[in-house]
Chain A
Amino acid sequence: MTEKVKVRIDGEVIAATAGQTILEVARTNNKYIPALCYMEGLSTVGACRLCMVEVSGVSRLLPACTTPVQEGLAVATTSPQLESYRKIALELLFAERNHVCAVCVSSGHCELQTLAQEHGVTSVRYPYSYPRLPVDMTHPRFVLDHNRCVLCSRCVRTCAEVEGAHVWELAGRGIGSRLVSELQRPWGEATSCTSCGKCVQACPTGAMAEKGWGVEEMTKRRAAVSRLTSMREGE
């Protein structure tokens, strides 16, 4: 028997199940908490820091995607402080790589772009780092553009947890972190890749795309990936 708990989200009392995360409870109850690295059906990593929330009695901010609820927990999903931190996190993502929306296949369907617009990011206060990054075109059907990668690791988790192939991994540290396929082999030479394309569908930006699309043309079917895990539950 699963234990029921009562939590408060933005003042509203909500019934939840112990073990659920704050983000899951919020989303099932139509309370919006922004997130980029979270995707329904995948494990959580707390990488993007956009879902940070205020929990009463806790002096630091906590990521809603990795924090389990417990009886009596009271959460604020928005505040001037949270809004300002979320803007900082978004601006740092933009400053870190070359997110040139004007020439991106995912423009108009990009989660990073949408979040920036929702949060009123009109410019980036930090100096852009303009790293020189490669574009891996070696796969016959897909492209990996490191310029647009936010290191959310949704592709890594999708490949490992849903497809079971574990082609992707994050290598390096800090600003030097890169997404790599099969021990740094080009994607087209990764023998464990099944070419299923689920990583592409899970990618929130234009970092992974199908070949053949022009600017603004690549739409993704993220729900299809999430649905696979939900259908497997109880097997």
Chain B
Amino acid sequence: MDKARIGTCWLDGCAGCHMSLLDTDEGIIAILRKADIVFGPLVDAQEWPEGVDVALVEGAVSSQDDLKLAQTVRSRSRIVVALGDCAVTGNVPSMRNGIPTRKLLERIYVEGATVCPGVPTDGVPGLLKQAEPLHSAIKVDVHVPGCPPKANAILMVLGDLLEGREPDLGSKLRFG
């Protein structure tokens, strides 16, 4: 039987959800018996491949690059999982949402700079007006909140999805 394909990525997040994924310890070996990780910070692939079965997306949608990657993930993946509070609610990245982006960038890169004041434009994606949860940009199939989600919650969700079950977080559901 062909192995399932898992892809992971992070948008506007802190990598904490990916740390939690690593924190599954030997649990990840059981997952890797059933699936390959075909994209993510842990593997070399440069582009989100076609035919991904389960996509784990960490982070809020905050920049033009985030939006583009989220749309690619959606179009090339069967099940999209919003992993962690940033992807589910906007969380900490969304705390900037009450401030216009221009003002925000100037406060940090001009007023707050001691050397080379100026809003960076080269090689960095433009910020969207607000950092939004993933489901405001693309259709999300499964939400796994938590900051980060506990390793056992990620394992359970991955296990269920690979077995074709709809995951129910039950008592493992938590925000923060």
Contacts and interface: CB of A to CB of B under 8 A. Distances in A.
Interface of A: 94, 98, 100-104, 107-108, 113, 116-117, 120, 122-124, 127-128, 130-133, 216
B94 A130 contact: yes
Given A98-B94, A104-B176, A130-B98, A123 B147 contact: no
B174 A122 contact: no
Given A102-B91, A130-B97, A123 B133 contact: yes
Contacts of B89: 94, 100, 123-124, 128
A101 B175 contact: yes
Nearest to A125: B135
Nearest to B147: A102
Closest 6 CB pairs of A and B: A101-B176, A132-B98, A107-B176, A102-B147, A130-B97, A122-B143
B62 to A, nearest CB: 13
Contacts of B82: 123
B6 interface: no
B140 interface: yes
B85 A101 contact: yes
Contacts of B91: 100-102
Contacts of B130: 130
A38 B82 CA distance: 33
Interface in B74-95: 82, 85, 88-92, 94-95
Contact of A108 (B136, B143, B176): B176
B144 interface: yes
A209 to B, nearest CB: 15
B173 interface: yes
Q: Which of B98, B144, B169 has the most CB of A within 10 A?
A: B98
Interface of B: 82, 85, 88-92, 94-95, 97-99, 130, 132-133, 135-136, 140, 143-145, 147, 168-170, 173-176
Contacts of A216: 176
Given A128-B90, A216-B176, 12 more contacts: A98-B98, A100-B92, A101-B91, A101-B147, A102-B91, A120-B168, A120-B170, A122-B144, A122-B145, A123-B145, A127-B136, A130-B90
Given A101-B147, A127-B136, A122 B173 contact: yes
Nearest to A113: B175
A72 to B, nearest CB: 37
Given A108-B176, A123-B133, A130-B97, A102 B85 contact: yes
26 contacts: A94-B89, A98-B94, A98-B95, A100-B91, A100-B94, A101-B91, A101-B175, A102-B91, A102-B147, A102-B176, A104-B176, A107-B175, A113-B174, A117-B173, A117-B174, A120-B169, A120-B173, A123-B88, A123-B135, A123-B143, A124-B89, A128-B90, A128-B97, A130-B90, A130-B97, A132-B98
B71 to A, nearest CB: 19
